């Protein structure tokens, strides 16, 4: 049953009309058109931003009561003993973990709102909108799982490996929660890179040739982005993020070729 559904989605994506359907932005946008597109984008966001904010607060409050169990699971997977150095340290750590969990659960809604607002000025609606929302969410959760099960364990083990009998690690619960949640969220965001490349090329803002000609600049930007997004400035964590990000950049070019978008 699952295989049939996946096949139906792929058939929809590769449908000739879907791939070649012209968009409003096939020609460069004039100044007035860019202004109108920005107005439409902001208007679409305003329609749901209040509902999103209220839902985020309510879900954070609900998940807060489950945060001790969530923290225990994350701690068993990634760390040993945790400590706190302020009276409010554990409470704030649970708040941050609950907020991150709420964002994680609401990501499909967030992506739907974002793509609807981004796509409406360019005529990206219906099946095309579903394509971007579905695969963006899929890549986001794939990135977070890859980070949680592969990158974070390796990175933490490597960094803690510099300890010794004279130099023991004392990990703050607040810093541990900040490190893990930000790192996981950043990985989820960067895994969405191919979809944004496809969108930008499909609406005519950049071409596939532009991506192919500027690989060296892409490497530089990826290195800068990895340095900014990683919670720690060490080279290992930068490589653990920058390496997959460059592979995703190349994957975006391959997807554009498969979809025959120039």
**Tell me: the pLDDT tens digits for 227-242?**
777 656 667 777 877 8
Write down the pLDDT at residue 138.
93
Supply the range of the domain harboring residue 201. 29-258
pLDDT in tens, the chain (262 residues): 544 444 454 454 444 344 334 444 444 444 455 556 667 667 767 778 888 889 999 999 999 999 889 888 888 888 777 888 888 888 999 999 999 999 999 999 999 888 888 877 777 778 888 888 899 999 999 999 988 998 888 877 777 777 666 677 778 888 888 888 988 998 898 888 888 888 888 877 788 888 888 888 888 888 888 777 765 666 777 787 788 888 999 988 888 888 877 6
Write down the pLDDT at residue 144.
93
- The whole-angstrom separation of Cα 117 and Cα 109 is 12
19 within domain boundaries: no
69 within domain boundaries: yes
* Three-state DSSP class for residue 79: coil
Structure confidence by residue, pLDDT tens digits, 6-48: 445 445 444 434 433 444 444 444 445 555 666 766 776 777 8
User: Length of the chain, please?
Assistant: 262
Write down the pLDDT at residue 116.
84
204 within domain boundaries: yes
The partner residues of 172 in beta bridges, in order of sequence, read 83
Write down the pLDDT at residue 176.
87
Write down the pLDDT at residue 20.
36
φ and ψ of 123, to 5 deg? 75, 20
226 within domain boundaries: yes
φ and ψ of 83, to 5 deg? -130, 165
- The whole-angstrom separation of Cα 90 and Cα 174 is 7
22 within domain boundaries: no
**For the chain, how many structural domains are there in total?**
1
Query: Rounded to whole angstroms, what are the CA distances from 25 to 44, 120, 198, 202, 210?
Result: 18, 11, 14, 8, 17
User: Which among 198, 186, 181 is positioned nearest to 135, based on CA atoms?
Assistant: 198
What's the sign of the alpha-carbon dihedral 171, 177, 179, 180? positive
Please name the residue that has the structure tokens 């995703």. 248
3 within domain boundaries: no
Write down the pLDDT at residue 63.
92
8 within domain boundaries: no
User: Which among 171, 184, 31, 162 is positioned nearest to 107, based on CA atoms?
Assistant: 184
10 within domain boundaries: no
Write down the pLDDT at residue 6.
45
């Amino acid at each position: 049953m699952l295989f049939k559904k996946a096949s139906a989605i792929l058939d929809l994506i590769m449908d000739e009309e879907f791939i070649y359907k012209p968009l409003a932005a096939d020609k460069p946008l004039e100044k007035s058109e860019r202004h109108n597109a920005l107005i439409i984008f902001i208007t679409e966001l305003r329609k749901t931003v209040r509902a999103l904010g209220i839902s985020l607060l309510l879900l954070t409050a609900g998940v807060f009561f489950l945060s001790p169990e969530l923290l225990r699971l994350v701690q068993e997977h990634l760390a040993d003993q945790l400590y706190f150095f302020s009276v409010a340290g554990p409470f704030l750590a649970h708040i941050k973990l609950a907020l991150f969990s709420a964002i994680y659960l609401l990501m499909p809604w967030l992506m739907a709102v974002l793509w609807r607002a981004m796509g409406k000025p360019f005529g990206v609606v219906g099946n095309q909108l579903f394509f971007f929302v579905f695969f963006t969410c899929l890549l986001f959760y794939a990135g977070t799982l890859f980070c949680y099960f592969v990158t974070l364990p390796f990175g933490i083990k490597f960094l803690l490996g510099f300890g010794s009998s004279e130099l023991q690690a004392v990990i703050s619960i607040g810093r541990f929660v900040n490190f893990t949640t930000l790192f996981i969220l950043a990985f989820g965001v960067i895994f969405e890179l191919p979809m944004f490349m496809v969108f930008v090329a499909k609406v005519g803002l950049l071409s596939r040739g532009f991506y192919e000609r500027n690989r060296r600049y892409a490497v530089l930007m990826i290195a800068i982005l990895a340095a900014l997004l990683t919670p720690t400035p060490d080279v290992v964590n930068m490589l653990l993020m920058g390496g997959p990000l460059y592979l995703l950049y190349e994957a975006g070019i391959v997807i554009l070729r498969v979809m025959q978008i120039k």
